[in-house]
Structure 1
Amino acid sequence: MIKNLCGTQMTYIRKFALLILFVLALPVQAIDTFIIADIQVEGLQRVTPGAVFVALPVRVGDEMNDLVSSNSIQALFETGYFDDVQLLRDGDTLIVSVVERPTIAVVTFDGNKKLKDEVIENALKVGGLAAGDVYNPELVESFTDELRGAYFEVGHFSAQIIPSVAPLDRNRVELNFVISEGKVALISEIQLVGNNQISDEEILDAITLTNKKTLGILNRNNRYNREQLRADLETISSLYLNQGFIEFSLNSARSFITEDHDRIKIVITMTEGIQYKFGELSIASSDEVMSQEELDKLIQEPEEEVYSFEEVSNTRNAISDSFANLGYGRAEVDALPTIHDDERKIDVNYVVKPGKLTYIRTITFRGNFSTTDEVLRREMRVLEGGLYTAREIQQSRNRLNRLGIFNSVDMDFVPVPGTENQVDVVVSVEERLTGSLLFGVGYSETEKASLNFSVSQTNLFGTGKRLVFGAEYGDIEQALNFDYTNPYYTLDGVSRGFTFDYRVRDTSDSDTALIYKIDYLTTGMNFAFPVSEEGVVGMGFDISQEDLSLTESLRDTTDYRVADYIGTGIKTTGGSAEISYRKDTRNRAFFATEGNNFYTGLRASGGDNQYLALTTSYSHYFPIGEKMVLRLSSQVDVASNDVPFYRNYYMSGSAELRGFTSGQIGAKQLCRTDTPSDDTVAIDGQDYRACESTRSLGGNVRMISRAELFFPFFGSDEIDDKRIALFVDHGGTFLRTDDSVYNQASTALGTREKFSFGNMRSSVGIGFEWLSPIGPFGIHYAIPVKQQPGDTADRFQINLGTFFD
């Protein structure tokens, strides 16, 4: 006969405490105590008997009584596996009868946009509600509350989450969450209470959250976000602490939401305290690594009289860096303040404990799956067994970044166990896709139809060598080019490169290009010699052959100087030599955030065409805060007056002056004519007119200047491989010539643009730039704000392959 030891029926339990009370309150049938001879489990489907025996607090041979029965039932319920548990007796056999909870077969959720799928999926796994877990109503309720709280964190106070359960066969269920996110609450007001010394305007300008709508649909800072509020509270604290209010405290930050959950008011209450100023500054070292005079030079007079935690921190870091540059990588710097309440001043004594000289035991590289260790090691400015010096460490990081083959470069310094003055340097890199294979079909008004093919590799076989091969076949131009550079031709870092370029260009059928045909071949060699840590002197030479011709029927529709230069056809040979100097202190090759890049180069061309050309460029990167970068750059190109027309400088709309049509800026073409009119001018018995083509002759003077503000792409915290650019471009191309006919005719026709800053063009715009897997890619929209007669706008431009870095 089977006897019910404890008649217990549990169908739904909300709280663990209620479970205990419920179990204790059950009417328990009094039973005779017996010794368990055997234990059997009934009703299992997916739960293993082992899981039951592990949870069950009794074993064969134990004594069974009313208290043990209640404890056993409670223990089995606590596993979360069962909806019902009964203990039965058959003689001396204990029978555990259970009803399993269903298993979750699938979990779905719909309606989420603000919270990504993977975020919710991970939360479900952590919460025990993933597919394969046992269905537990309490966990569903708890997860629903947590998910609703996550929406509250990002300002969706009207968010609703409705869970539902659908039964399936084999004791399984489908769990679904229907999410209605609702609107995000907008900040109606930020009220500051207790700020008497610092104005509302200064505080509100310092924080991110705002109730203003100045940026329209792009403004997300007027949307409530609890995490951003916490960050803003830290910003307010820092603002006060850096203005001498060392006793400042934030009392509360309360949020009041409207009944419709669409608007929220934030009230921040604070106590400012007394403002302190800097008193006396002093420095001392426990070891005589530096003289007292040298130590005193490390503490600069503060920029502001008021005491600033940031100023003290910066001074500590500067002192630490100075000792680290001497090899004391573990130097400790303490700033000991002495507060004088009567004078409201704070003296600061910087105490330095240099410790021992720090040496590097090993340097290892990680993440360079394609790149050989040698490529990285030759850029390191610290050596195994050598001193750890902060300056050389930073130089090593910058040099690796400037290679342009890594997305990121990180360095970790691991103390060597059992030593006080040794570290292992671990360099971790993330490799960039450095090779590309491109095939394209294109069409433009200038170039007509064309086929393009190119292969490039900036890290050939992982050696750091660069190889580019390209071919083009089109209606206007056919080309074949090759470029190879070995950056470490010698162990000292001397680079050597070879170039080859064969090109045939025939613009006879073009309505917009300068009309002529040229067939030229150029091949050259170049070297670069490092002269300092960031400075390189370059030398190169090339030889070339050019064959120019002009269809006779087109002589009257192209510029008369082009026609006179080519005549019935001209073949030239020559060569050129170039010497250059570059100093690059940028922290990385692409998307730099600090440093500068200077270049100047002089080219002398000999042979049939003899001329000089000078190019100078400079760009400087200014970090603004933690997310934005300002770049100011300029470039000047000047060639002597005898430079041939096809070597003139042109202004490309996408590469130099955004917002303008490429090739239109510069000297306008003048054509001879036999038909005098009001639009012609006679010089020495010959009539001249402005050519119909809008294509310019370019010029031998080109000036470009740019101001660009970069910030992370929407959704990113930093500028990594994508960025948004706000820019102002300014520039122009001018022709200085001794040709009196051109000077007179162009002046009379009103087409001459003399070199002057007043004849420059300007544009403003916005762009998106991306280091894509196939190379740099940019989309820019620019509006010309200063134009000259005859200019046409090309506002939307796409650029692939080059940036302005």
Structure 2
Amino acid sequence: MNAVSAVALSAGVAMTGAIAIELAATQVATAATVSRIEVRGNRRVDADTIRNYIAIRPGRSFSNDDVNEAVKRLFGTGLFSDVSITQSGGALVVSVEEYSVVNQVIFQGNKKIKDRNLSAAVQLQPRKSFSNQIMQADEETIRESYRRIGRDDATVTGRVQELADGRVNVIYDIQEGGRTKIKSINFVGNSAFGAGRLRDVITTKQSNFLSFLMRNDIYDENRLRADEETLRRFYYNRGYADFRVISSSADLDEAENAYTVTFTVEEGERYRFGNIGIESTISGVDSESLRSELQTRQGRTYSAKDVEDSIIGLTETVAGQGYAFAQVTPRGDRNFETHEIDVVYSIDEGPRAYIQRIEIRGNQRTRDYVTRREFDLSEGDAFNQVLVQRAKRRLEALNFFQTVNITTVPGSQPDQVVLVVDVMEKSTGEFSIGAGYSTGASDSSGAGFSVEGSITERNFLGRGQFIRVSAGGGQDSRDYSLSFTEPYFLGRRIAAGFDIFKRTRSFDKYDRDITGGTIRFGLPITEALSTQIAYNYTQEEYTGTDECADITAASCDLATALKDAIGEGTWKKSSVSGSLIYNTIDDMKNPHSGLYANLTLEVAGLGGDAKFIKATARSTYYQTLSDELDLVGLLSVGAGHIQAISGDLRVFDHFSSNDRIIRGFDYNGIGPYDSATGDHLGGKTYFNASVEAQFPLPMLPESLGLRGAVFADAATLYGSDVAGAIGTDLKWRASVGAGLLWASPFGPLRIDYAVPVMKEDKDEVQNFNFGISTRF
């Protein structure tokens, strides 16, 4: 029998961390046979299992190549750290050295990242084979996890604790180090916009004393790439069609454990739109009839967004005419002398391509279907780039992701493509707090501070659902509420939700307890226009004052009359309401442009005690007045009217003034009042208007999120069904003031100081107001 020299494989660590396999030199005859196969060194793996892996059988000839393949298969199981196959007489001897089995994976020294999160990240797991190479890879994985939370100097050392029966505990010793800060963000090559304005645009922020709460000063290479794209869009939408980011870099100062981030840019010239044209190679498409779909206008500042919106409008209109594969391509012709760009939209019959599948990547918390349902496309549909871009906008508008990138790769057939959606998730939970101060009034809750706190989750359990819980109150008030919204009710783009609330108030002459709820449904009409219908039910309980000993006779008469009017029972209101909402705001948290308008009609009388019709309208328009100074103008107007269907309105059904109608006056501090006590009673009709300018505060870093505002308000509240009310005529009030806006870790907050410049004698002043900064 021909002897077979030893053939062995050994595992070594290469530069890449992979296992390099080296074959020992062999001199083997072309074929050999053995009478038996002996397995040595195995402790947990059954000998027959090993024999099956090598695929060499007694009595059958085998070659050196068969031995090599057998060794590779055994190593490929991941169960053995060493394998050798030799021939001894008539036996083929398979010697193995098994990997130890992981008993426990232990993390020591970690506080900022919990054990369960680290366990989910590493490869070594209990009851799996141990490998030094995998342990080293896990060390790097843990370090990367710390880099993602801003701790670049964290160190990780893995070690093994030997146990009996070939088991080991794997221990990772972690020194978390300090937070790695962003010392500065610099821009090179910019002249049209200052560094402060550009720092406000990007998501990466410089470190400040609030960074431990805001967590926006963490360096991340993916975020840096996203910031590059944000800068491009910022410039492209403001006329700089030749803008480019030459480079972006982050240099770590290890002594300070801080990054210096630098963007080098080339702005180019600013352009305006020149001639705008439409060409079509599709015989059934009339180019001139499509001009109404264009958002680009000759003479306007060039904007890539306007071009994109024009492409969307043209594509949808042509597709609606039966050309599903129509493709709209813009062609720009720059005039370097006049700084104009002529744009021609070419409409052609595009290639017939279909979507094979949509692949979602990067979502660890958000369910796949939450992302997939934002597409108006599904597997098997005709590929449409416009609808893909619309889905991208919708995903970005969800505010669940830091970045959204959609690419295509070839499918399994020439006419098929695969949509790949890469997302990077961000925190979707918020904690907010607001406060106010009341000077007190004769028929309002007592003077003093009131506070409100809320917890909001926009992506509840990764299902895309919205939930908000809030509570607040002051010395004589308590408020509680719960809101929930399912944005895709029954799998359709219908938002369904409910609100439950309870409010209690203690006044000088009575106590009020209101409990109620709303069931609502919202339906989009267009991308900007939507409608909402709701059923509302409230139950109000009033308790009048029995004691008149310590108040004036007039007040006692009013208290008695009030008690007679409201009784000491329950007042029920059952109503339905409908709203039209138009929204083109660019950023609901930090608006710079767009219009938000809301028209609501409520009819009460479907059972219950209240019977009225109430209409309210509010519109707020934002416009950037200066991109260079980041100066934003705001114009807001509103109106409301309520009319009893039968009888007179109760005093509690009237409108009450508040800081959304006019600042500088107390809650319910203007309008009709009681002739005997001066208590304000509210009104049947109001009109209000406000103008405001918002601007960054000089000398303060943009990362603090602070902005200033100056404003002027005007309002009137008049008309009343309450007997004895006076001051019911239309009389205007006005105020001017200044405010401080803060994009805080607790939500958008603002504080205003307003001074009335036009008022009536009985009006009640409240100069300071503190609360939510953006309310639509």
Q: Letter of the 1:333 partner, please give it.
A: V
Q: Letter of the 1:124 partner, please give it.
A: V
Distance, in Å, in 2 between the alignment partners of 1:347 and 1:433 is 44
Distance, in Å, in 2 between the alignment partners of 1:259 and 1:455 is 47
Which of 130, 137, 155 aligns to 2:132? It is 137
2:618 is aligned with 1:618: yes
Deviation at 1:111, TM superposition (A): 4.9
Q: Letter of the 2:733 partner, please give it.
A: F
2:756 is aligned with 1:757: no
Q: Letter of the 1:757 partner, please give it.
A: R
Q: Give the corresponding residue for 1:188.
A: 183
Distance, in Å, in 2 between the alignment partners of 1:229 and 1:486 is 39
Distance, in Å, in 1 between the alignment partners of 2:673 and 2:749 is 26
Deviation at 1:202, TM superposition (A): 6.2
Q: Letter of the 1:105 partner, please give it.
A: N
Distance, in Å, in 2 between the alignment partners of 1:484 and 1:223 is 41
The answer as to whether partners of 1:88 and 1:95 remain within 8 angstroms in 2 is yes
| More divergent stretch after superposition (136-145 vs 306-315) | 306-315
Which of 89, 92, 95 aligns to 1:91? It is 89
Which of 168, 172, 184 aligns to 1:177? It is 172
Distance, in Å, in 2 between the alignment partners of 1:579 and 1:68 is 81
The answer as to whether partners of 1:85 and 1:98 remain within 8 angstroms in 2 is yes
Q: Letter of the 1:556 partner, please give it.
A: T
The answer as to whether partners of 1:278 and 1:305 remain within 8 angstroms in 2 is yes
The answer as to whether partners of 2:276 and 2:344 remain within 8 angstroms in 1 is yes
Distance, in Å, in 2 between the alignment partners of 1:103 and 1:579 is 66
Q: Give the corresponding residue for 2:552.
A: 556
Distance, in Å, in 1 between the alignment partners of 2:84 and 2:563 is 110
User: Is the partner of 1:230 in helix, strand or coil?
Assistant: helix
Q: Give the corresponding residue for 1:404.
A: none
Distance, in Å, in 2 between the alignment partners of 1:740 and 1:104 is 83
Q: Give the corresponding residue for 1:334.
A: 329
Distance, in Å, in 1 between the alignment partners of 2:282 and 2:150 is 55
Matches within 5 A, 1:3-402: 6=6, 13-15=12-14, 24=24, 35-49=33-47, 52-53=50-51, 55-56=53-54, 58-61=56-59, 76-77=74-75, 79-87=77-85, 89-111=87-109, 120-125=118-123, 129-149=124-144, 151-152=146-147, 155-193=150-188, 204=199, 206-211=201-206, 213=208, 220-238=215-233, 250-260=245-255, 262-269=257-264, 280-295=275-290, 298-299=293-294, 302=297, 310-337=305-332, 348-353=343-348
User: Is the partner of 2:318 in helix, strand or coil?
Assistant: helix
Q: Letter of the 2:329 partner, please give it.
A: D
Q: TM (normalized to structure 1)?
A: 0.56
Deviation at 1:135, TM superposition (A): 0.6
Distance, in Å, in 1 between the alignment partners of 2:237 and 2:211 is 33
Q: Give the corresponding residue for 2:427.
A: none
Q: Letter of the 1:756 partner, please give it.
A: W
* Count of residue pairs the alignment pairs up: 627
Distance, in Å, in 2 between the alignment partners of 1:390 and 1:180 is 48
Q: Give the corresponding residue for 1:539.
A: none
User: Is the partner of 1:320 in helix, strand or coil?
Assistant: helix
User: Is the partner of 2:165 in helix, strand or coil?
Assistant: coil
- What are the superposed Cα offsets for residues 77-104 of structure 1, whole Å, 9 maximum, x if unpaired? 5654223434455531222222211111
Q: Letter of the 2:107 partner, please give it.
A: F
- What are the superposed Cα offsets for residues 101-128 of structure 1, whole Å, 9 maximum, x if unpaired? 1111222335556667666444324xxx
- What are the superposed Cα offsets for residues 158-203 of structure 1, whole Å, 9 maximum, x if unpaired? 1211212222333222222233333343333445556678776665
Q: Letter of the 1:165 partner, please give it.
A: V
Deviation at 1:659, TM superposition (A): 11
The answer as to whether partners of 1:659 and 1:794 remain within 8 angstroms in 2 is yes
Q: Letter of the 1:785 partner, please give it.
A: Y
Deviation at 1:352, TM superposition (A): 0.9
- What are the superposed Cα offsets for residues 341-391 of structure 1, whole Å, 9 maximum, x if unpaired? 899876544221368999xxxxxxxxxxxxxxxxxxxxxx9xxxxxx9999
Q: Letter of the 1:226 partner, please give it.
A: E
2:656 is aligned with 1:650: yes
User: Is the partner of 1:45 in helix, strand or coil?
Assistant: coil
The answer as to whether partners of 1:153 and 1:227 remain within 8 angstroms in 2 is no
Distance, in Å, in 1 between the alignment partners of 2:538 and 2:175 is 62
Closer, same or farther: CA 297–140 of 1 in aligned 2, 3 Å: same
Q: Letter of the 1:41 partner, please give it.
A: V
Distance, in Å, in 2 between the alignment partners of 1:283 and 1:86 is 74
Deviation at 1:39, TM superposition (A): 1.4
The answer as to whether partners of 1:89 and 1:95 remain within 8 angstroms in 2 is yes
Q: Give the corresponding residue for 1:786.
A: 754
Closer, same or farther: CA 67–245 of 1 in aligned 2, 3 Å: same
Distance, in Å, in 1 between the alignment partners of 2:775 and 2:34 is 84
Structure showing greater radius of gyration is 1
User: Is the partner of 1:559 in helix, strand or coil?
Assistant: helix
The answer as to whether partners of 2:580 and 2:600 remain within 8 angstroms in 1 is no
Distance, in Å, in 2 between the alignment partners of 1:473 and 1:342 is 69
Q: Letter of the 2:734 partner, please give it.
A: G
The answer as to whether partners of 1:578 and 1:601 remain within 8 angstroms in 2 is no
Matches within 5 A, 1:468-547: 476=511, 505-508=542-545
- What are the superposed Cα offsets for residues 657-681 of structure 1, whole Å, 9 maximum, x if unpaired? 899986666666675xxxxxxxxxx
- What are the superposed Cα offsets for residues 643-670 of structure 1, whole Å, 9 maximum, x if unpaired? 66565443578x9889998666666667
Distance, in Å, in 1 between the alignment partners of 2:561 and 2:87 is 115
Distance, in Å, in 2 between the alignment partners of 1:216 and 1:342 is 47
Distance, in Å, in 2 between the alignment partners of 1:662 and 1:455 is 25
User: Is the partner of 1:85 in helix, strand or coil?
Assistant: strand
Distance, in Å, in 1 between the alignment partners of 2:467 and 2:199 is 48
Q: Give the corresponding residue for 2:369.
A: none
Q: Letter of the 2:543 partner, please give it.
A: D
RMSD: 7.1
The answer as to whether partners of 1:57 and 1:71 remain within 8 angstroms in 2 is no
The answer as to whether partners of 1:779 and 1:797 remain within 8 angstroms in 2 is no
Q: TM (normalized to structure 2)?
A: 0.57
The answer as to whether partners of 2:295 and 2:307 remain within 8 angstroms in 1 is no
The answer as to whether partners of 1:704 and 1:729 remain within 8 angstroms in 2 is no
Distance, in Å, in 2 between the alignment partners of 1:599 and 1:320 is 31
Closer, same or farther: CA 37–275 of 1 in aligned 2, 3 Å: farther
Closer, same or farther: CA 613–733 of 1 in aligned 2, 3 Å: farther
Deviation at 1:638, TM superposition (A): 5.5
The answer as to whether partners of 1:285 and 1:354 remain within 8 angstroms in 2 is no
User: Is the partner of 1:35 in helix, strand or coil?
Assistant: coil
Closer, same or farther: CA 705–93 of 1 in aligned 2, 3 Å: farther
The answer as to whether partners of 1:661 and 1:794 remain within 8 angstroms in 2 is no
Closer, same or farther: CA 142–668 of 1 in aligned 2, 3 Å: same
Closer, same or farther: CA 500–265 of 1 in aligned 2, 3 Å: closer
Closer, same or farther: CA 189–329 of 1 in aligned 2, 3 Å: same
Distance, in Å, in 1 between the alignment partners of 2:691 and 2:44 is 68
